[in-house]
């Protein structure tokens, strides 16, 4: 079992729908990252959070440390949001360097 699990693995939705991607982890972490991998392969860091909630445009990330769970929400989804979304837990070893990745959620937004 992977230390970082995401659900769903694949998600298809209509443009405008509210999207939720979940991430659960079993390791002790110092922070959790959300990344976006574009269809062309490039990876962009979206959020890093260690508590509470962060918002950037139509993207919202939340984390519940006690429940070891984080969610990424997209409001008013758009076809350009189609990508693979990856959560990554930053460990507490090696001076907090190591990222352990989830398996990714492939999001497809249909116009």
Partner 1 sequence: DTAVSQTPKYLVTQMGNDKSIKCEQNLGHDTMYWYKQDSKKFLKIMFSYNNKELIINETVPNRFSPKSPDKAHLNLHINSLELGDSAVYFCASRSAGADTQYFGPGTRLTVL
The least distance separating partner 1 from the CB of residue 95, rounded to whole angstroms, comes to: 7
Candidate list 56, 57, 97, 111; residue touching partner 1; CB under 8 A: 97
Q: Which stretch binds partner 1 (CB under 8 A): 13-21, 56-64, 73-81, 97-105?
A: 97-105
* Rg of the chain (C-alpha set): 13
> x-or-dash pattern for partner 1, window 17-56, by CB under 8 A?
--------------x-x-x-x---xxxxx--x--------
Pairing of strands 69-74, 19-25: antiparallel
Pairing of strands 105-110, 99-101: unpaired
- Residue 14 corresponds to which tokens in the numbers above? 């209509």
């Amino acid at each position: 079992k992977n230390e970082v699990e995401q659900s769903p693995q694949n998600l298809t939705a209509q443009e405008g729908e509210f999207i939720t991607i979940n991430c659960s982890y079993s390791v002790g972490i110092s922070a959790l990252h959300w990344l976006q991998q574009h269809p062309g392969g490039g990876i962009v860091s979206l959020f890093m959070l260690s508590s509470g909630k962060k918002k950037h445009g139509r993207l919202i990330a939340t984390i519940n440390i006690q429940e070891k769970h984080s969610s990424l929400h997209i409001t008013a989804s758009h076809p350009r949001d189609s990508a693979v979304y990856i959560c990554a837990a930053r460990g507490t070893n090696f001076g907090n360097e190591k990222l352990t990745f989830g398996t990714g959620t492939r999001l497809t937004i249909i116009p």
